[in-house]
Structure formats: structure tokens, C-alpha cells
Amino acid sequence: MTTRIDNLKLLSFASEIDDKTIEQAKETAALPFVHPHVALMPDAHYGKGSAVGTVIPTVDAVIPAAVGVDIGCGMIAVRTTFDAGAIENLDRAELRTSIESAIPLSPGNYNRAVDRYPFTAGRIAVLEELAEADGVDLAHSPKWREQLGSLGGGNHFIELCLDEDDRVWMFLHSGSRGVGNRIAQRHIKIAQRLCRQWHIPLPNADLAYLPHGTSELDVYLRDLAWAQRFALENRAEMMDRFRQAFAHWVGHDGEPATLETERINCHHNYTVREHHGGKDVWLTRKGAIDAHEGVRGIIPGSMGTRSYIVTGKGHGGGLCSAPHGAGRRFSRTEAKRRYTEADLEAAMTGIEYRHGAEWIDEIPQAYKDIDAVMADAERLVSIDHVLRQVLNVKGT
């Protein structure tokens, strides 16, 4: 379903959405530089500054807080050459332990060294060269190299999945880690300071923006591009480590790279230059993926529910975008109030995962029904594969 909200520049694709999220989206859509409209994705829910699941096209301005503090957060998926029969008699706890050893989990937990894997050095070199070429100042994050290949916490995860034909997929969700957060926080504060200095009235301070023609916007866009590249490389680094652990687990004799048949790596928190409504705009996808016609994408469910590999349909009303997941129904605090560790265990029956009360706020019941989200997204994407988890690893 698609609904225009109160004749504003606001279209909603969500059949389940609360008033608080709608009001937040109205504030964003009312900004004078929004064109042609804001699109609310099927998984939209209340967030900081602007709703998560919001696609915001802006002319000659960018809102740093709308991009968010986890710049470039997104998904990567790899389809392997293996099927369910190859792993059914293997100890999944053994693979989980191997993953936890290879990839640092939880906020603030980084790699002790950057030379453990041979493929890491090339990624660091690319990021160093990009920072030098664009004048990106990373003095605020001297440990950014150690952050490469680390998961983080919250709803970031690593999974082993099976698709509708019982083929094995590797799957993970993460972003630009601490360095991306530092970059975001710096520019959010600059935008807020400038809007105060220029006496620009805003519905809330997190809609502060950087206008075209200012050095502040130029610097932000350079820093943003670097953080988005870091997030892309971070996911690829973790996937290569996951692939190596998986190859050892299944007894794969060849190079680990030979066990994958396709790889998809996509952002869902980012800004990019695109053309919509007859104009070139800065398109911010805050909790949304690129769904231009033919573009492959990934829409995960919550832990314990289905996820989807999709192809975009290029729907103009949706600003060539699609949802980035199930979307929260309850806040983390509310989820912990409603559910118990026993509830989580019941929801994760048959899935190898890290047991503990730390993950109650990620219980599937805290999220929207992914099937309803995908039904709402029917005009935005076509479904290529439906995945179900057999192993889940989360940070705290």
C-alpha cells in the first residue's frame, strides 16, 4: 500500500506504522529543500532526528543526523557451493566459536593486530590512499585500522543460512564502527552550530543541515564517502574471515574463495547523488536500500526469522528504494520489559546462537512481521531467495 500523508511531500509504504513515526516524518518532509517527497519504507519506525526507514531527497543540502552515526551500515551476503546435506552432521557450535575468534564482537572490541589475515593489508592500503587523496582527517580515530573487520553491537549480526533450495549462505550486518561514529558526531555538531548561528528555525536540532556552497558541506561529503567505503570494506573483511572459518569447518580443500558463487554488499545508512523528480538530489537512505531496477539487495528479518535476497524494481514513488529489514516494533527497553531469556530460547529453537539475557532486546517479537514488510514492499522489489537461519552470532 502507498499513502500520501496529509497532502504533504510524504509517501508511506508501511501498513503498520505508529503516529510518533508519522509526526517525525512530517517534520522532515516539511523542510524547504526536500524534493520531490520523502518516502517512508514498510519497516519505518521512530528514530533519532528522522525516522528509521526514511528516504530523504534534498536539493543543495545534506542532513548529517539523517544519515546517522553508523554511516554506511548495511548487509553482505555470500551464496556458497554447499547445500544443507553438507553441514547437517557438523557441530554448529564449533563454527560459532571459530567465528567469534576470527571477528571481534561488541562495541569497543577491536582487533589486537592488523596482520592476522593476508587480505587485510590491501583494504587498509585502499582506505589510507583514499583518506590521503581526499584530505580526510582521521586524527580523532587513531585505532581505525584495528576496527576494520569488527562487528559492533546492537542489531549487528553474523549468520549461516539456508535458502529455499537448501543452499548454504553466509550473511552479516555491520557498518563503519567507531570511526564512522566519530565522523558523524563531528559533522552533526557543526551543522547544529551553523543553523544556530544563522538563526535557522528547525523542528528539532537533529534536522540541522549543511548547505551547498559551504566548505563545511564539502568536508562532510569527503568524510562521508570515506566512511561509506570503510563500511563496505569492513563487511567484506568480516565476510572473508567468515568464509575462511566456514571453509575449515566443512573441510573445503581449495582456496576459500572458490566456495562462493555470488556476493552482494549493500549499504542502508548513507547518502548518494541521484536524479529524482527531474532534479539532481542528495538522496539519504536512513534504513533503506538501493532498489533501482535490476539492483540486487538484502533485506534481513530479525534473529530467528526469514531474510530475503531481492532485486529492485525502480519504483519512482519509493525513490528507487526498499526496506532494510523488519523494523522495530518495541524499543529495547520495552522488549526487555515484555520478554524473558526463556522467550528468546523458544524463539530461537533449532538455531545455534549465543545464549544470554544480553540479547533479549533483539528477540524476534520486538520487530515487525517480516512477511508483512515484504508484502508492503511488493512494488519496490522482487524476491530472489528466502533465507532461514541455522546459526546466529550477535555482538552485545
Of the candidates 120, 151, 77, the residue with the CA atom closest to the CA atom of residue 386 = 77
DSSP H/E element including 124: helix 120-134
Cα–Cα distance list, 261 to 272, 357, 381 (Å): 28, 37, 22
CB 28 within 8 A of CB 207: yes
Of the candidates 172, 109, 175, the residue with the CA atom closest to the CA atom of residue 146 = 109
| Cα distance between residue 153 and residue 73, in whole Å | 12
Cα–Cα distance list, 248 to 81, 234, 252, 254, 304 (Å): 14, 22, 6, 10, 25
Going by the DSSP 8-state scheme, the letter that residue 311 receives in this structure is: E
The torsion region of residue 382 among left (phi > 0), alpha (psi -120 to 50) and beta comes to beta
The reply to whether 324 belongs to the active site is yes
Q: Give strand pairing partners of 264.
A: 77
**Which cell goes with 35?**
524534493
CB 35 within 8 A of CB 18: no
Q: Where are the alpha helices (DSSP H) in 135-280?
A: 144-147, 177-197, 215-250
| Cα distance between residue 396 and residue 155, in whole Å | 8
The torsion region of residue 152 among left (phi > 0), alpha (psi -120 to 50) and beta comes to left
Q: Which of 276, 324, 355, 385 is catalytic?
A: 324
CB 140 within 8 A of CB 187: no
Catalytic residues: 324
